[in-house]
Chain A
Amino acid sequence: MSDFLCKINMLDIDLTDQRYKISFLEEDITFLAHSIKETGLVIPPIVRPLANKFIIVSGFNRVRALIYNNRAHNNETKILVYETKPDATDCSCLIMSITALAFKRPLTHSELIISTRRLSQFLDKKQIAKKSSAIFNIELNVRFVEDLLAIGALPDPALELIHHGNLSFKSAKRIASYEKEIIKVFLNIFSKIKASNNKQLEIILHIMEITARDAIKPERFFKNQNIQDILFDENKEPGLKTKELRAWLFEQRFPTIFKTRQMTREKITSIKLGNNIKFLPPQNLESQNVSISFTAKNYSEFEASVQNLHAVIGNKELKEIFNP
């Protein structure tokens, strides 16, 4: 812990210096402010003296809550803080800041990434991994620290996308291995859509494979009018954009499969088997087994379905499905 407990003037805290802030979460501090007002400050924030001012090491929300109380209730301007030792270093303060949060609750991915990136100014990946349980309240192996650092090196929007759930950890790790211009393409795409981890990975995979196959740069591919139309249509929800983008990419990546599936679907529809009969063509056309099924609550439903099936015998499209 810090050296000593003291009271400092709230105005002496430099709120603009957030070098130890590792959390993106802007929590609502109304309840905290109310609690402090009612119960008092249970754990004072930690501050570090620097150039006649104090910068916050830990307790950004508590300071915000105190300022809130001060404005709302005109309370005293002095606040109780732990002041760090004079010989505290940037590294020790950073560790203090991370530790304070990590032992309060598990860090989010973006917090882990920010923390690791900042720690890497003072410690190498092996040292970070070695000290991880004491700093992060969780053991991180060197490989994972490497991943965190690789993701931490992504341009700024990446962390925000990770924080908002637009970019999964795995997707971020995947795109971190690409060139700068390609990374920009994916950050741009993921800022416009909202997809699950698997769908994000599929989008990355398809784009990289299409562009490799066709020997074009992903940044050029991104300028394709179809992609632009999907992503930049202001009237579409991110979920719908994801769906349309995935469908279009699948068509580009697997043109024959796409076309064949579409034709088969059209044929099945044209047969008009009725809603009660499920007709499933062989998966990927690899097997030759077609699945036809229906359920019947009673004999007349059974009879109706059998008659429907009987009626389509000889149907040209049906024959084509069996003999593509």
Chain B
Amino acid sequence: MKIDTLFIDKAVPRDFETDYLISRLKTDPQWVEDSKTVYDVINTADDPVSKAKKTLYITQNKGAVIKACPGTSYYTCCDYTILHTGTFCTMDCSYCILQAYFHPPVLQYFAGLETLGHNLEKIFTQNKIFRIGTGEYTDSLIWEKISLQPKFLVETFARQNNCLLELKTKTVNIDSLLPLDHNGKTVIAWSLNTLDIIRSEEKGTASLKARLEAARRVESKGYKLAFHFDPLVIYPDCENQYKKVIKQIFEHVRSESIVWISIGTFRFMPKLKQIIEKRFNDSTICYGEFILGLDNKMRYFKPLRIKLYKQIISCIKEYAPNLLVYFCMEDEEVWEKCMGFFPKKEGELGHYLDKSAVTHCSLNPHFL
């Protein structure tokens, strides 16, 4: 989606990073005192979510730059660390929680590479493994063509040995990353789905083929990879469709290059349903067999989740028996029935992932 309105916070210094952004956006910026003007423009639009996707606000991060993934109670979290570089997304996935998460959603880019650097330095000096990602509140690579940030992050992470950077995306914006000296510390991850779901629910994203081709290209430059089947959507014949995607993964990249694959079925805050129905007339994604989960999110009925998970896991294991597959936000019963074990202790799942990070990205094993 093309940016048609550009706001820049007056507090953002006019430096090389900002000039680089402005020069590539090709939209006259409006310098604003604070976010009120931006909020007003978005809130008064007929469809604030769509308006927000075309309105970029370059500002500074006024909150925590690095924070722990919030997770939810009752379901096991992977203890991820979020590097907060921006909010919202230019792509338009029907199921995207960000539509309902922010009030209103604002497409923010947090300028300030120096601030990012300072905050990261504090993490780099800890004797602990961190898996850090920028793809929690936005797509990690939507600004790759216009911003110096991805390059900065890859090169910054290359100079340390206790943190892995995961850039999670549905784009194929990788060109500027290819020539970089990443030192194996950056994992480029793609969110994957079936052809049906990409076509019907993931407006504005790269095709499955393009994503896998991009994965092959970054792999050829030594980057490690990850894949996320999240959200898995249950619909007739979905099992076979997901198996086809898995087959394609291993046709494109080597299993040794994959640090992990996460899986999680579609879940949503109840209020997202209204937004989906309003913005995506043809979407039937909310009409599956959902129940209210223990974290007050709608989730597929557990036997249905287990059935799909089992098939997907067994399919992945056929291609890559040793590959780390984990659930994003699932409970003991699902783990036990699908994986045969449950990372019960606090931080146990995180520890498994840290171990894979250490192995694949040559992090310091003493920090495990």
Contacts and interface: CB of A to CB of B under 8 A. Distances in A.
Interface of A: 209-210, 212-213, 254-257, 260, 284-288, 324
Tell me what chain A mostly uses at the interface: helix, strand, loop, or mixed.
helix
A213 B289 CA distance: 11
Given A254-B289, A256-B301, 17 more contacts: A213-B284, A213-B288, A256-B289, A256-B304, A257-B289, A257-B291, A257-B301, A260-B301, A284-B292, A284-B301, A284-B302, A285-B291, A285-B302, A285-B303, A286-B294, A288-B333, A324-B303
Interface string B281-311: 0001011110111100001011110000000
Contacts of B288: 213
B289 A286 contact: no
A260 B332 CA distance: 20
Contacts of A254: 289, 301
Contacts of B286: 209
A286 B287 contact: no
Chain B: interface size category? 10 to 19
16 contacts: A209-B286, A212-B284, A213-B287, A213-B288, A254-B289, A255-B289, A256-B304, A257-B301, A284-B291, A284-B292, A285-B301, A286-B291, A286-B299, A286-B302, A287-B294, A288-B332
Nearest to A213: B287
Contacts of B301: 254, 256-257, 260, 284-285
Interface string B320-335: 0000000000011100
Contacts of A255: 289
Among B288, B332, B333, the most chain A Cβ lie within 10 Å of the Cβ of: B333
A212 B292 contact: no
Nearest to A324: B303
Contacts of B294: 286-287
A286 B75 CA distance: 11
A212 B287 contact: yes
A254 B332 CA distance: 24
A146 B302 CA distance: 42
A202 B195 CA distance: 33
A288 B299 CA distance: 15
A273 B168 CA distance: 53
B293 A286 contact: yes
Contact of A209 (B287, B291, B333): B287
Contacts of B289: 254-257
A218 to B, nearest CB: 14
Interface in B69-122: none
Contacts of A256: 289, 301, 303-304
Contacts of A212: 284, 287
A288 B335 CA distance: 13
B109 to A, nearest CB: 36
B326 to A, nearest CB: 20
B85 to A, nearest CB: 35
Nearest to B285: A213
Contacts of A285: 291, 301-303
Nearest to A259: B303
Interface in B332-357: 332-333
Contacts of B304: 256
A285 B290 CA distance: 12
A290 B303 CA distance: 17
A11 to B, nearest CB: 57
Nearest to A284: B291
A194 B88 CA distance: 46
Nearest to A206: B287
A260 B331 CA distance: 20
